[in-house]
Amino acid sequence: MNNKVIPKLLSICILLLVIAGCRKKAWDEFYNRPDSLADPIYAQLNNKGNFKNLLALINKSGYKQVLALGGGYWTLFAPNDEAFDKYFKDKGIEDVSAIDSATARAMVQFCLVYNSFEKSRLDDYQATANNQGWTPSIAFRRTTAYYTGFYKDTGLNNKPITAIASNRNNTPESLTGNYVLGDDNNKYITYFTDDFFNSAGLSASDYNYFYPNSTYTGFNVAEAKVVTKDIPAENGVIHEIDRVISPLQSIDEYIRTKPEYSSFRALLNRMYANNTIQFIYNTDATHRYQVLTGKNDSVFVKAYSPLLSFSPNNENFLKLEENDGQKDCWTMFIPNNAAVDNYVKKVLCEYYPSLDQMPIEIIADFLNAHLFATAVWPSKFAVTRNKFSEPARFDPVTDVFDRKILSNGIVYGTTKVEDADVFSTVYSKAYLNPAYSLMTRLLNATGLRLMIGSSSVPVNVFLISDKAFAAAGYSFNVSKNQYEYTAPGSAATTNGVADKLKRIALTCAFFDPYKSAVDDLSGADIVKSGTAGIEGDFIKFNNNTIVTGGLQDDGKTAIVDSVKTASNGKVYFISDLLTYSERLVGSHIKDLGTASSSEFNYFWQYLSNSYIYNTATTDILGLTGFNTVFVPNNKAIVAAVNDSLLPGTGTVPNMVPNFNPSDPKGKDLVRKFIQFHIIYGHTIVPDGNVSGSFDTYLKDTVGNSVKINVVNTKGALYIRDNSQRPDPKNISRLLMPQSNNLSNRCVIHLVDNYFKYN
């Protein structure tokens, strides 16, 4: 090689080496770990010098490599050595060597939260819906690395099985218990910050209710105080705490270990009749278990009934958003065995031989009264609602003997049951009695349950037995999901009677201001069913016998068999259906006025000969909905004739009625007179409730209803017309006892005067 070439090549090589060295230095400066970066969590704990026991626990757990490397992001709630000294003393052990590796792993995992959160971020909720992002000061929980996984349970016929907890609330349409493969059902850890407490309206007393031996500092984790917050690490953040926190059980796991709750748990874990749980074989979970363990067990998902407000073994909360478990959790009030046993015997099973025979909805309602799908804090019992919109009706001082914050919720052990409206109101007298199943169904279908089943709504009700419905030909076909009617003595069955039965049911409820009128049925009165501002059918009672328009048509009465008192009113058990009249109003006026001696006779004669009356059907033209008919007595009719409001013969003041005028003017006078004596849209009786100005069926020249004014007092009605007649000539009064005649959505009264519209 040329001697001149060699030096050149050497120079080029040296230059390349220099360039490469410079580039590596720049690379290292850019990509190497910065000197200012904190050490990984494991090294930081080691550097601090007061986490020797925690480090030993981490070593034993198998998590050293995870925490020693810089990858990943974690939040570690780290008990210091002083915390472990307390723990060892409480457990009666010397040191970490007495803790097995599985327990060590669980303890480390439970203190290890996914992602890195300084104190200022821990109480912020990571909202995912609509890309909302951080929502400040409403979070009090975070997901840990710990989960239970497969466990041993007891299936049908007391057979031991391998199970896994459901990781979602169940749904009616799910065949898998709504179990989601790949979700390990990780447990949550609960912490308490000043920002969250201020946002939620909580105080130190809420914290100390659960942890009476700890001091609330504004940053606590379970029973521990945070001694040093926000210790930075390359792979997360460390919060030093003064207590060792053991992994928490779920609600399902907790009550399994508590014999004092065995009666409530028996209701919560029914498997044979009226099931509230089932164990559902899962192929994927079985395969995973067999791969992990080498065993050939089948795995079953423990799934709670979709009728329940939540699944007590679900650690994920609702999962409507990915992280919604950060800001809420379940709450269960668990009555002790004595309270449950007594309530089941005296209330739930008053009319059932056992829980097996009652509808499962009753069991579900009892359980759901105690299951709140939200956090119920000690100071918030009165304002936090369950699925029935009812508060926790417990005294946190005298009624609660056990209180725990668990991995998926809060548990309160109580000495009494939740006093649920569904079991204490007038509704319960039908709901809990199988002899009133059709009545219960109708109360639900009409929406009456929502009102009569609320302890805050005063109401009296009449209940009709299945036997009475059957005697009248009515039943419910469960397989066809329809109400049916079979006429007595007939084999033909028809449907299409739902509306009729619902109207009968609506006639059985009396709210304020009508409730007080039926507080005592030993007297006599006429009362509107329903509530103020809503028209309903009327009933009449006399010495514990009841008449409606329909019963009156059939010549029958309903008898009060017995009476019970509930939390919001009285229940009258009656012998027959409160049927409504299906006859037209004109037919009842005919009944009242046909007799020549009747005070309704003159009005009836004018009506029957008018062109607004259909003789064949007894229909009054244009009459619809609810109405009140005021019939002037015969003397008042004669006075109206002499006042030129009705056609007549002779001369004033001795004119007599012409009931069938042939001239158009006379016919129209009759039409106007009749229409002005019928109130449209309202039924009014002398009960002191409804007064005011009311539309009649008569229209003025521009089509507006001509009104009359009614003053309503108990036992009397005063009706003032629009005429310029001086008092008292323009005032009409009810004539009793000929008034208060029941018709089809109508009441017919007799009055001592006529109404003048001009």
Per residue in 463-479, pLDDT tens? 999 999 999 999 999 99
First to last CA, the chain: 138
Is beta strand 74-79 parallel, antiparallel or unpaired with respect to 112-114? antiparallel
The pTM score is 0.90
- The three-state secondary structure class of 696 is strand
Q: Kindly report, residue by residue over 435-467, the tens digit of the pLDDT.
A: 999 999 999 999 999 999 999 999 999 999 999
Count of other CB atoms within 10 angstroms of residue 156: 10
Q: Report whether 594 contacts 601 (CB < 8 A).
A: yes
β-bridge partners, 304: 277
Q: What residues contact residue 161 under an 8 Å CB cut-off, 6+ apart? A: 152, 153, 154, 155, 279, 297, 298, 300
- In a 13 Å sphere around the CA of 54, the CA atoms on its Cβ side amount to 33
Confidence of residue 27 (pLDDT cuts 50, 70, 90): very low
- How many angstroms separate the CA atoms of 450 and 465, rounded? 21
Q: Report whether 163 contacts 253 (CB < 8 A).
A: no
Using the predicted structure, report yes or no on whether residue 9 has a pLDDT greater than 90.
no
Note the pLDDT of residue 94. Answer: 97
Q: Which helix (H) or strand (E) holds 460?
A: strand 459-464
Give the DSSP per-residue string, 386-425: -TTS-B----TTTTEEEEEE-SSEEEEEESS----GGGTS
Note the pLDDT of residue 497. Answer: 98
Using the predicted structure, report yes or no on whether residue 38 has a pLDDT greater than 90.
yes
Query: The dihedral of CA 697, 698, 699, 705: what is its sign?
Result: negative
Using the predicted structure, report yes or no on whether residue 40 has a pLDDT greater than 80.
yes
- How many angstroms separate the CA atoms of 286 and 295, rounded? 10
Q: Kindly report, residue by residue over 377-416, the tens digit of the pLDDT.
A: 999 999 999 999 999 999 999 999 999 999 999 999 999 9
Output phi, psi for 353, to 5 deg: -65, -30
Q: Which helix (H) or strand (E) holds 694?
A: strand 692-699
Average pLDDT of 638-667?
98
DSSP 273: S
Q: Which helix (H) or strand (E) holds 699?
A: strand 692-699
Q: Report whether 442 contacts 500 (CB < 8 A).
A: no
DSSP 248: P
Q: Which helix (H) or strand (E) holds 743?
A: strand 741-743
Note the pLDDT of residue 722. Answer: 84
Q: Kindly report, residue by residue over 82-97, the tens digit of the pLDDT.
A: 999 999 999 999 999 9
Q: 156-161, long-range: CB within 8 Å, 24+ apart, which pairs?
A: 156/271, 156/272, 156/279, 161/279, 161/297, 161/298, 161/300
Output phi, psi for 191, to 5 deg: -135, 165
Among 383, 427, 385, residue whose Cα is nearest residue 570: 427
Note the pLDDT of residue 72. Answer: 84
Q: How high does pLDDT run on average in the chain? A: 95
Q: What CATH architecture applies to the domain 37-145+188-204+216-246?
A: Roll (2.30)
Output phi, psi for 672, to 5 deg: -60, -45
DSSP 176: S
Instruction: Answer with the residue of higher pLDDT: 148 or 10.
Output: 148
Tokens 């059918």 identify what position? 537
Note the pLDDT of residue 5. Answer: 54
Q: Kindly report, residue by residue over 718-730, the tens digit of the pLDDT.
A: 999 988 788 788 8
Using the predicted structure, report yes or no on whether residue 76 has a pLDDT greater than 60.
yes
Average pLDDT of 118-129?
96
Q: What is the residue extent of each domain of the chain? A: 37-145+188-204+216-246, 150-186+248-418, 424-468+500-574, 585-751
Q: Report whether 315 contacts 110 (CB < 8 A).
A: no
Burial 524-542 (b: 16+ CB within 10 A, else e): ebbbbbbbeeeebbbbbbe
**Strands laid side by side in the 474-477 sheet:** 474-477, 482-486, 493-494
Burial 546-579 (b: 16+ CB within 10 A, else e): bbbbbbbbeebbbebeeeeebebbbbbbbbbbbb
- The three-state secondary structure class of 325 is helix
Query: The dihedral of CA 450, 451, 453, 454: what is its sign?
Result: positive
Using the predicted structure, report yes or no on whether residue 489 has a pLDDT greater than 50.
yes
Average pLDDT of 564-578?
99
Average pLDDT of 349-355?
98
Topology alike, domains 150-186+248-418 and 585-751: yes
- How many angstroms separate the CA atoms of 289 and 149, rounded? 9
Q: Report whether 745 contacts 584 (CB < 8 A).
A: no
- Name the CATH superfamily for 150-186+248-418: FAS1 domain (2.30.180.10)
- How many angstroms separate the CA atoms of 118 and 231, rounded? 8
Note the pLDDT of residue 23. Answer: 56
Structure tokens at 628: 């009140």
Q: Report whether 362 contacts 430 (CB < 8 A).
A: no
Structure tokens at 642: 């002499």
Q: Angle, nearest 10°, between helix axes 585-593 and 601-608? A: 130
Confidence of residue 71 (pLDDT cuts 50, 70, 90): confident
Q: What residues contact residue 614 under an 8 Å CB cut-off, 6+ apart? A: 586, 620, 621
Q: What CATH architecture applies to the domain 585-751?
A: Roll (2.30)
Among 210, 228, 243, residue whose Cα is nearest residue 86: 243
Average pLDDT of 311-322?
98
- How many angstroms separate the CA atoms of 564 and 45, rounded? 69
Average pLDDT of 544-564?
98
Confidence of residue 17 (pLDDT cuts 50, 70, 90): low
- How many angstroms separate the CA atoms of 231 and 348, rounded? 56
- How many angstroms separate the CA atoms of 41 and 68, rounded? 6
Q: Report whether 546 contacts 566 (CB < 8 A).
A: no
Using the predicted structure, report yes or no on whether residue 4 has a pLDDT greater than 60.
no
Q: Where are the alpha helices (DSSP H) in 37-192?
A: 41-48, 52-61, 64-68, 81-91, 101-110, 119-122
Q: What CATH architecture applies to the domain 424-468+500-574?
A: Roll (2.30)
